[in-house]
A and B are shown apart, each in its own frame.
Chain A
């Protein structure tokens, strides 16, 4: 299963070891960890709650991982995303991609994160001194995801 949704924390080292296994063809492992910050949009954040759409979340993430594997020459990929209550410094998301060479592994890892940010049904609600508020989607996340869209072919 290349995708896991869980409330508990994860151990990136252990997850990387599991992804690598004893595969001697792997020469590069790229990983990303998203972490809960203590401020957002100028306000202190003391806590956040992550909600998702069970069923669709797994499907959406599996589709993203499958697309990454189809577009880049990588062998293994894993996404672990936490839900529930998190506080600043807590880990939120882990992406691991393993392949023969670093270029493909880096690109696939970044692609998975950019698509996750815009296509996987998670929502953050944060606690600030003014009360709780839902985090607004950012245009910069859409722009990051659009980088990976195939160029529009001009009329051939």
Chain B
């Protein structure tokens, strides 16, 4: 299935791209699964998305948890803890 992924703020710089349209296996059905899939690319992907790193994920522009489902056509954004105001 196809999903739209966004990398925002420091993650965009560390990963070297603002986002991508990605075809993922149907078995990758959660936020945690997608994160693991991306980490398997190695290099910066593995270190930047590593477990324990302060990281937030939104699915369809709503804050998500590791167990949040990822469905075809979803917009999934990875970003650091927010610092507005």
Contact = CB atoms under 8 A, between A and B. Distances in A.
Interface in B20-76: 54, 58, 61-63
A113 interface: yes
A113 B83 contact: no
A88 B82 CA distance: 20
A52 B80 contact: no
A84 interface: no
A120 B8 contact: no
Give the interface size bracket for B toward A: 10 to 19
B9 interface: yes
Given A53-B58, A53-B61, A121 B82 contact: yes
B11 to A, nearest CB: 10
B85 A123 contact: no
Interface residues of A, number: 27
A102 to B, nearest CB: 22
A55 B82 contact: no
Contacts of A34: 85
A124 B58 CA distance: 19
Nearest to B14: A134
Identify the interface centre among A51, A56, A120: most chain B CB within 10 Å of its CB.
A56
A123 B79 contact: yes
